[in-house]
Amino acid sequence: MNFDTANARVDFRAPATQGASEVALFVAAQLQANRLHFQSSYTFGCKSRGVFDDLFAAAESAREAGWDGYGAEPVSQDAYDYAYRFLESLPLGTPSPVVTAEPDGQLAFEWYASPYRTLSVSVSREGDLHYSALFGPSNARGTEVFLGEAPKPILDLIRRVHAA
Amino acid sequence: MIAFGPLPQVAADELLARFVAVEKWIRADNTIRQDAFIPPRDLNLSVTRHRLLSEEQLWEIGQTVANAVSQKQPARLFGRADVSVAAVAKTALRAEAVPVAANPNHAHIIGWPQDKPKQKFIAQQLAAAATFVAKKPL
């Protein structure tokens, strides 16, 4: 099996907006299109920085059971699709994460400053975002359902990890 | 060949090795990512007790982990994350001896919560407490 991005079954490309009018939908669609365009730019987006390639490579390397030598679960197409959309949903200028696969078949994104100042977000096949951050002795953790936009608690933690 | 008599239960002053055959689990600064300590679905995280093993014997066991991967795709043993039983106990988990034919020093880290964010928090703590030892290429 190869991971298929072009035919992703999980589609959040429809504009995310609270408004229902034609104008609101048009504006949201334009914003979405612009964000995807800028994701392709070196300066603003993750795409040109190879993170999407890393995501594909991480999923591919974990597509068969036992990929870690210990009996790990394979990464599913659904987990890959959700992870792809999550990455796409990150605001422009967000620091690039490192992408890995986890033994339970989830894909993980890590933002890292040091072993005690780090955030990891796991994406499940159901579209849940499980996260845990270490800041010295304190910890922030939880689960957010991914509905097409990067959840604010996770964005706040990314900023905190990378704060000067 | 590694041969032992009856093995005692895991003691508080022992060291445990988690072998790493996934390169992305190792950071550029030679620390280990939490992924290496995320438990599988059965919540039994396999490790090897250092007890009575030489470095060479430890790597011999580690190589079997990489060999299990290489039956499916190109793989090699990159190293091991050594973590103390005391660090495991700090997270409220415990280590239990589970000898197997090929590895009498095999053990499980058990007592994991079902909740994934809690698992990640514990895995981050274990990773932060662990020391990564790179396997020198032959």
Nearest chain B CA: its distance from A29 CA (Å): 33
Query: From CA A150, how far away is CA B50, in angstroms rounded?
Result: 43
pLDDT higher than threshold 50 for residue B61: yes
Residues B72, A66: C-beta atoms closer than 8 Å: yes
- The residue ranges of every structural domain in chain A are 5-10+18-161
pLDDT in tens, A93-113: 899 999 999 999 999 999 999
End-to-end CA distance of chain A: 42
Chain A and chain B share a number of CB contacts under 8 A equal to 100
Residues B73, A70: C-beta atoms closer than 8 Å: no
pLDDT in tens, A125-163: 999 999 999 999 899 999 999 999 999 999 999 999 999
pLDDT (0 to 100) of residue A46: 63
Query: From CA B78, how far away is CA B65, in angstroms rounded?
Result: 11
* pTM for the structure as a whole: 0.85
* Element (DSSP H or E) covering residue B125: helix B116-129
Residues B41, A104: C-beta atoms closer than 8 Å: yes
Q: From chain A, pick out residues whose CB is under 8 angstroms from the CB of B67.
A: 69
Using the Cβ of A115 and the Cβ atoms of chain B, whether some distance falls under 8 Å is answered with yes
Residue with tokens 């894909």: A107
ipTM: 0.89
Please tell me whether residue A127 adopts helix, strand or coil conformation.
coil
Nearest chain A CA: its distance from B108 CA (Å): 12
Nearest chain B CA: its distance from A127 CA (Å): 13
pLDDT (0 to 100) of residue A48: 57
Q: Which of residues 53-72 of B touch A (CB under 8 A)?
A: 65-69, 72
Binned at pLDDT 50, 70 and 90, residue A39 comes out as low
* Alpha-carbon separation of residue B133 from B19, B43, B58, B102 (angstroms): 9, 25, 11, 22
Cα Rg of chain B (Å, integer)? 14
